[in-house]
A and B are shown apart, each in its own frame.
Chain A
Amino acid sequence: MAAAELAGLFAVYKPAGVAWGRVREAVETRLLRELNAAPAAAPRQRVRFLPTPAPGGGGAVELVAARVPVLADHPLVRGPRFRKLKIGAGHRLDVKASGVFVLGIGHGNKLLTDLYNCHLTKVYTVGGLFGKATDDFSDTGNLIEKTTFDHITREKLERILAVIQGTNQKALLMYSNIDMKTQEAYELAVKGLIRPMGKSPPIITAIRCLQFALPEFQLEIHCLHETQQYLRKMVHEIGLELKSSAVCTQVRRIRDGVFTVDDALPRTQWNLQSIQEAIRNCQLRVETELEKTLAHGEGQESSSSAGWGQLGMLGRNVHEQSLQYSTAATCQQCDGQQKERG
């Protein structure tokens, strides 16, 4: 019953050049293979009266009681025990990007929606290259223009980054749907806790330059509600602002809410044991983060407060719930399979 304990959230390191759907399917296939390879329960035994030739001779058949395994439990009849697993994906990554990719299994999928509603920031390392402009803002696109870049200094770049941060800070306050005239808004602004708790355009909460070696540079970007293509466009616009041009060479997510690169499992560790361990390690952190945001969300008069009520159920021991529901789920699975065969 290893599938019963498989419920929760874990992070996987998605390599570049692969679509996120394929990563999800690869993890699912790997888990299914391991779950099905585990030794199955022993087949049921039944007492049957089998006809055997009588010891007397010629044609007479007598019934002998024998304890035989039920054919219905034979693996070739039943097929693999697990055919599908409910694995949900968190914030997606496009083909060219790499990094932390959160997946949820079983009842952990419900936590995925709640983590989405927490609106936590994600951190990316974005690599850029000055001197080129392409149509899709990455270094593999069609070249549009080449420019000089020897006039760019680290100081100019940091000035542009400061401005980007400033305007996005303003956007953070504007899209948070709080009335600026209240004392509450002032107190939240002082603590820096104002965040848009609903839909908003991509907002960059912090940006800084990690490395600068002309023509390459690397930025660390903390953002909300973004897409990777938006980050590439941001690199392009930084190039334009510096009176040159830039393309993005690498987008790597190093943190997604509470999951960091250290928690993300590389491809060699996409197996049942590592995933179970990862779920256990991250569970506490996910629960505390959800509770913290839930408590904060109740006090705040935000427009999406209606969705917070359901959070009260979660954040409790995920194990208990999963154990309760899992037996019912496997029974349903058995019934389903029997019906299919019948």
Chain B
Amino acid sequence: MAGLARRLLCRGAPAVPPGTRPLRQAEEAAPVFQYAGKAAKRKDRVFVWGFSYSGALGIPSFVKPDAGWKKPRRIQSTPYRLETEEKISSAACGYGFTLLASNTRDITKVWGMGLNKDSQLGFQRSRRDQTKGYEYVLEPSPIPLPLEKPQQTRVLQVSCGRAHSLVLTDSEGVFTMGNNSYGQCGRKVVEDEIYSGSHLIHQLKEFDSRVVQVVCGQDHSLFRTKKGLGHYNITSVPTKLHGDIAGVNIIQVSSYGDCCLAVSDEGDVFGWGNSEYLQLASVTETTQVNVPRHLPFKIGKVKEAACGGTGNAVLTEEGNVFVWGYGILGKGPNLIETAVPEMIPPSLFGWSDFNPDTRVAHVRCGLSQFAALTNRGELFVWGKNLRGCLGTGRMEDQYFPWRVTVPGEVVDVACGVDHMVSMVRSFT
């Protein structure tokens, strides 16, 4: 009643502040926007970072700016989104080039970018001169594989070495291209062969069982079949590996430089190759080991191994990472070399009393960097920061695992010499 009286007494339009009821009514009448439905799917993305002038990042505007205000960007020091038409299921970084592969049945399954001086990306026909090929490919360009059934075969995995690449398909064997001076492409070494602008893509089908994983070292290739382990190196013919590895069921192989590691299903680690940096010093004093040797480490059951240029890392079943070798190993600047694996404390990977379930799920190696993926989708990197390849935003070397800020959950990462590629799923 008093309110009514007030309104009658005042003349004109009284400045009455809106009560709560009109506000609430306005709120209820407001339209509701929908940005995502209940069945909204998470998107798959690719992020790249590192040295861009070789074209390995696949972003041409970094090398040749397409707008006046853009400047050439030599180093991309934080993750940058690479737009791709298809969902990329496998990626591999070589020495200045990258291969991306999709698990699709379309005709275009593999894209390559970066250095192509040894035709490691196949023949990329130049538009200016139809007879020559591009030496640097700045954008992800399709690689024409000579498939018999291009609309049925699926590409399972790709792998890149120093100047050669391997593509693994599900029914048509392995395709190799690039430099063959050591027989790493699986064909006879031809003296004085010119690899630049070559159309040759060799197909390998003669294996005793299906090839499950391909790995490229610096100038050699490794094939893991369902039955055993074979390699190409100066022999140009697949040779089964003997030594301690004969008869053992191998579940994973890794190599990037000159040293190789294999993990058996029982959790044992076998190594061979170059041991100048104490990678195999626990079993032998020699620097070159031709025959695989079992590495007797008492660190528990090993799930995954990653071999870099001078340092190695393994991941155990409990989710702990062990490193050994030479270089920046990840335990501070004081640990430069060790022949026996040392564990990196899990608190550096985000484990704490608040998050006791965090553990490392995968471990990968570049030439002198390491990358670890946790089960929460976080990416940790450490090692030599060559031309910004760590992705931390800084140009300094990183002596212990450091988180890389990626706008999404990192599913897989491929490390190269001076760049890295990651496959990421968006959060929502």
Contacts and interface: CB of A to CB of B under 8 A. Distances in A.
A176 interface: no
Nearest to A192: B347
A143 B30 contact: yes
B223 interface: no
Contact of B332 (A150, A165, A186): A186
Interface in A226-252: 241-244
Contacts of A148: 32-35
Interface string B14-27: 00000000000011
B428 A156 contact: yes
Contact of B33 (A146, A150, A156, A180): A146
Interface stretch (A166-174, A272-280, A297-305): A166-174
A268 interface: no
Interface in B377-402: 377-378, 396-400, 402
B409 interface: yes
**Size range of the chain A interface in the assembly:** 35 or more
A186 B333 contact: yes
Nearest to A160: B427
B399 A180 contact: yes
A320 B51 CA distance: 65
A167 B26 contact: no
B345 A241 contact: no
Contacts of B376: 159, 162, 166
B427 A159 contact: yes
A183 B400 CA distance: 10
Nearest to A207: B354
Given A159-B427, A163-B427, A181-B397, A187 B40 contact: no
A328 interface: no
A28 B405 CA distance: 48
A145 B377 CA distance: 32
A147 interface: yes
Interface residues of B, number: 37
Nearest to A145: B33
B398 A180 contact: yes
A160 B400 CA distance: 25
Contacts of B333: 181-183, 186
Interface in A117-169: 131, 143, 145-148, 150-151, 156, 159-160, 162-163, 165-167, 169
A169 B405 CA distance: 11
A208 interface: yes
A143 B332 CA distance: 51
A284 interface: no
Contact of A167 (B40, B397, B405, B428): B405
A244 B36 contact: yes
Contacts of A22: none
Interface string B201-215: 000000000000000
Given A169-B350, A243-B428, A151 B345 contact: no
B12 interface: no
Contacts of A181: 333, 396-397, 399
Interface of B: 26-27, 30-38, 40, 331-334, 345, 347-348, 350, 352, 354-355, 376-378, 396-400, 402-403, 405, 409, 427-428
Given A145-B30, A146-B33, 20 more contacts: A131-B32, A143-B30, A146-B27, A147-B34, A147-B35, A159-B376, A159-B427, A160-B427, A162-B377, A163-B427, A166-B350, A167-B405, A169-B403, A180-B400, A182-B332, A182-B333, A185-B332, A190-B400, A192-B347, A208-B354
12 contacts: A146-B27, A147-B32, A151-B40, A156-B427, A159-B409, A170-B403, A180-B398, A181-B396, A182-B333, A187-B332, A242-B428, A243-B35
